[in-house]
Structure 1
Amino acid sequence: MNRSTGAVFALPLIGIGLFAILSFDAPWRGEWNWTFDAITGSSVLTGPLTASAAAHIAIGQRRLDPLVAPMARGWMVPFRTGLRAWLWGLAAYTLTAGGAALATALTPHGGPASGWVLAVGPVLLACCAMAGTALGWLWPHRLAPILAAPAVFLLGTFGPRPLPDLLRHGPVTGSLAGLEYVPWVWWAQLGGLLGLTGLAAAVVLRWQVPAVRTRGLGLTLISTGLLVITSVPLVSEDSSRFAPSDERPTACAGARPRTCLAPSNTRYLAPTASAIDKAAQVLEGIGVDLPATYEQLLPGYRPPVESGMLTAIDDVDASLRRGASLIATPAACTAWTDREVPPPEVAYEAQGLISAWIVASQGLSGDPWSEEARRWLADPAAPDRIAWMRAAFGDLRACRFSRLALPWD
């Protein structure tokens, strides 16, 4: 197989695509929109490599240009070069998408599934392929394939706006539960990518041929206009890819208290409910009055104040220790998320001591953070310890932060 096919890049493209989505233990599994964002986000690495593949192929084809140029359709050779590189990149993207979708389907899954966002991947790869083709065609040097990948990556990461908005489509580092894609931003990014692709294509046109010159002028004008029109909204302050959605914590498990998470976090529902149930049994054993439900806090939803509030939903650990940390927020007080007037420091210390007592009462280490805490946790069954637990938990449930005090203060 000759070098002009670019097959040498096939395995690296597939390997780097899989590396991109499997990094950090693939936390997107089970959440459809996060899965899709991980797939499109893999183009952060496969896009630059596709550009290198295109530059590599272009150099091989450029050497044949004296023979090809006089032909009637010789001007199309650079585009066929870009097409080859794009097909290799698209094959890797398709395999990556299929593998990621299968991984989520085989995991307890849920949440919105905006599969249409995947369409931006092939367009981005086409843009990178055309950019690499232009570089290799205009500068047929062995350094062109080596420099193409880092150049595209750096432009997509540190370049002037709107280039990062166009060349980076994830992956996000946290759950998309309670969020949704903003369609107009997606369409603007798609239009901007088409504009960049058109401009890169115009660069390699044979402008000295009259018929081609006319096509090239039209392509340049259309591509420039498309890029300018889409750039204006993308550089505005409200051009975030995501906005709060109407997703609510409707996936529930457990009895009392009942644990409710967003469908996007179904993967964590069973272990979270199990962990909270273990901690609840300990508190019920000393007569603590628990809320009927613990609900997840989402970007577009705050649980009612009479419900417990869950925030750290990113673990499949069903241990008592995790349940103790989750159950220590028995009310969705507005102060917990108020940036201007947050709860007093004693509220967080009381939460920590409640969690530590639950663990210590079962004969485990409560991880005391001070000498006072160590002494207090040494005898968790003492009446004064149990009395403080009831009072402190009741104050947290009623959002009476002013009444909270550590037992040794």
Structure 2
Amino acid sequence: MSEALSLSQERTQLFTDIMDGKIPKRVPVASNFAHEFAIQYAGKDLKEVQWDTTDLEASFEKVCEDFYSDLLSVSAFRMPSFYRILGSRNFVMGSNGFLQHPEVEGLKLEDYDAFIASPYNCILERVLPNLYPELNSDPVTRSLVMAKAFKAYTDETNNLFRIYGNLIDKFNYGAVTLFAAFCEAPFDILTDQLRGFKNITLDVRRIPDKVEAAVNAAIPLMIKMGTQVFPNKYNATFIPLHMAPYLRTKDFERLYWPGFKKLVEGLAEKGMRSYLFVEQDWMRYLDYLAELPAGTVMTFEYGDPKTVKDKLGSKHVISGFYPLTLLKTGTKQECIDKAKELIEILAPGGNYFFSFDKAIITLDSVNVDNTKAVLDYVANNASY
């Protein structure tokens, strides 16, 4: 067996052991760099490379060469081309080269009943023309715009998958992905793309019955969206969690949790694992997370690692907690010591892999040398 193949298999085994509830030979590392970081780190122009992706693979390669990870460490979630064709209001390229998500209202207040009756039809007929003005036209023009946008989307996606495949082969990454599909909690999709933060906050107080009905209507749609093309218990569907920390507990219990739990359970019934980015502070909701199907993967942004380990670590796979802010402001030794501290808390008993508390998006958000030092330390020293 070649050394390269052996390394890839070893890295794969680290994560499959975790997914099987076994203790791997060492703590695996899953670093997560956004394409914006990669472009900046390679010294390329952020705006140019996102529109002409000729240099994208070389930018990704430089990150893979310089930063340790057992899984593919860099990805592009959204590219701007198809959003520009659609005249997008919900994702807009800023002058600094970063795709922004402004506050939008895709679903009007008067459209709640239509959404509750048929979410899919309502999104096609009412939401998309609101979010993408180029679709708010006559049928022929609308069809041509959609065809152009879908062609741009498939071209970008196919190119990214080609790059990912090349990088996985070249750098012998493990054959496990935590991003095999993507969806949102039903309440979050209602907030992020349909009503907006301000409107949903008002709706929760003024028309909670309709909010609850809309969340329930969105559940099947989110299960379908989160279904992997090739279901695999070692891969996962990525679900970023947004609104729960901003809700009163009683609103969370009624409007957020039931739909979200049904989503994760629905995916599990189809043989799919969920990978949750537990955004902001979920400490008051840990007992709820404990109810999710065993083996759910959770990366925590904030909170008390020991409490999370005690409450969830025997049933679920835990990651995160390492603050990017420390990579920016701390000394190299302080950064390494923080990694040691988290590993001592989270690694015993297994069900843990190392990652930072969020994806690294901008070059100036971290000290590069500190980041490399922490990843190298964990790769060479972290055991269970």
Bin the TM-score by the shorter chain. under 0.3
Greater RCO structure (CA 8 Å; 6+ sep): 2
Q: Normalization by structure 2: what TM-score?
A: 0.25
Kindly name which structure, 1 or 2, has the bigger radius of gyration based on alpha carbons.
1
TM-score scaled to structure 1, two decimals?
A: 0.24
